[in-house]
Structures are given as C-alpha cells and as structure tokens.
Amino acid sequence: MHNRTILITNDDGLWAPGLELLARVAARFGRVVAVAPDRNRSAVSSALSLHGILRLHPLGEDRYACDGTPVDCVLLGVRSVLEREPDWVLSGINNGFNLGEDVFYSGTVGAAFEGVLQGSKAAAFSMHPKADLAVVEPWLETFLRRWEYQELGPNRIWNINFPKGEPKGFKLCNQDNRQYHNLVEKRVDPRGMPYFWIGGEVGPTYTRAPGSDAEAALDGWVAVTPLRMDLACPEMLAKGEDFNNTFNGNGA
C-alpha cells in the first residue's frame, strides 16, 4: 500500500459503476476518498456553485455525496474533507467518450482541471458507452502505475478515453473536432407550451484527424491526451509587433 492520498470524483454520480471501478483500482496506490455528485451532473464543465449552499453527506468511510457540481466536489474534498491537497485527483470513469471539443463541456474533465488548480496531479477518464469495465480495469491500473513517470508541468491534466473492446495499447494524441446533430430540439409539452431539449437523438460525428484522440479511441486504442488550461494562441502572440501597430499605432 502506497502512502498517497487520492481524491476521486465524477459527473455521473456517486453510484456510477465507473466510479466504483476507479475507486477499487486507485486503492491499490493509496488511500482513496470519494466525493462525488449525488446525481448525474454531466456537461456542467467547470461550473462552481457560488450562489447557493452546498451539502455534504457522509455515506460510509471515505465516501461522500455532494449536492453540487464535480468542481464543487473537488473543492469540498480538498478543503473540507481532507483539509489538504491530495497527491492525485482522479475523475471518472465517465460513461461515454470525452473527445475533441467535448472536454469544454465535460464535468469529468472540469473536475480534473480543478484538481490541478488545487495543486494535485490530475487525470480524467472516460470510455465508450458500451465498453466492458472488466476489460478497462487492467488498462486503468497500468496507466496509474506509470503516469507519474511522465511529467506534464503545472496546470495540465491527462485526458484518457478507453475504447469499446480490448485495447491495442496506449496512444498519445491531440484533440479531434466533432459535430453534434440536432443539437437543440423544440418540443411541446401536454399543455401546448414549447420547451427545448439539448442533445438530440444522434451522437457526434468526429473528424478522426490523423493523430487525434477520436481516431485512436475509435480505432481501438486507449487515447491519452495531455490538456492544458492556458488557451492563449501562440501564433497570434508571436505577432506582437503587428498587434501593437494595429491597436496602438497612428495608422487607420
């Protein structure tokens, strides 16, 4: 048993099978404390509850349900339950991929980013919705056994997506692009009042660009993507002189 303290969370809720597997595997590397939403909180990104109270419900040793978002769970786990930064913050395993631009919406990924903001090593885990957790388990353990050998630097996380079947191996990837279909549907309730449903019936279409996370995961690899919080555009920052002339110069 290692001496690490490991905080785990997700956005599917405390009773999700993916979280149970994550807890079981992470326990081989240290003390695991689970603080997770009391219900599904998918697609809330890095939302933080600033205008409402939060409640934390102990449900056994090192196991807590929170009525807030995944980011709330990480904050309460670090600042209230542990009262210190954990060595690892692990989020998932999400029931469904988080590929390409999905990471901007994902509560799973948002929780991992909050983990690095709190000073911990962090990773987000997702899987094909029809993946077998028994197949995922040894690959998750392998990743956790080896990931500390790859330093990412500050404010960076690993985003891991497990494929549907037995993986071919691990593949380091960049982000793909994706398009959702019927993103907003307008419907009518029994009283004749309109309402809207975001998501539609058809899943996303991925570009599957060479070297991307979608190409890897859909081709049977464990897609491993390093993500950073710094979203600044280096190609524009390199044009500092042009910018200065445009905005601070005397020309039109």
Q: Where are the domains of the chain?
A: 4-175+207-248
Q: What is the pLDDT of residue 202?
A: 62
- The rounded distance, in Å, linking the Cα atoms of 210 and 204 is 18
- The rounded distance, in Å, linking the Cα atoms of 176 and 12 is 23
Q: For residue 209, with 0-12 CB atoms within 10 Å meaning exposed, 13-18 middle and 19 or more buried, which class applies?
A: middle
- The rounded distance, in Å, linking the Cα atoms of 90 and 111 is 8
CA distances to 14, 58, 90 from 33, in Å = 12, 11, 10
- The rounded distance, in Å, linking the Cα atoms of 200 and 177 is 19
Judging by DSSP bridges, how do beta strands 178-179 and 184-188 pair with one another? Answer: unpaired
Structure tokens at 91: 């989020």
CATH of domain 4-175+207-248: 3.40.1210.10
- Decide: 140 and 170 in contact? Cβ < 8 Å: no
Count of alpha carbons within 13 angstroms of residue 118, beta-carbon side: 29
Bond before 93 cis per omega within 30 degrees = yes
Q: For residue 198, with 0-12 CB atoms within 10 Å meaning exposed, 13-18 middle and 19 or more buried, which class applies?
A: exposed
Taking only the tens of pLDDT, the chain with its 252 residues reads 578 999 999 999 999 999 999 999 999 999 999 999 999 898 898 989 999 899 999 999 999 999 999 999 999 999 999 989 999 999 999 999 999 999 999 999 999 999 999 999 999 999 999 999 999 999 999 999 999 999 898 999 999 999 999 999 999 999 998 876 667 888 999 999 999 888 766 667 888 989 999 999 999 999 999 999 998 999 999 999 999 999 998 755
Q: Return the exposure string of 98-125: e unless at least 16 CB atoms fall within 10 Å of the residue's CB, then b.
A: bbbbbbeebbbbbbbbbbbbbebbbbbb
Task: Kindly state the helix (H) or strand (E) to which residue 217 belongs, with its residue range.
Answer: helix 213-218
Q: What is the pLDDT of residue 184?
A: 82
Q: What is the pLDDT of residue 200?
A: 60
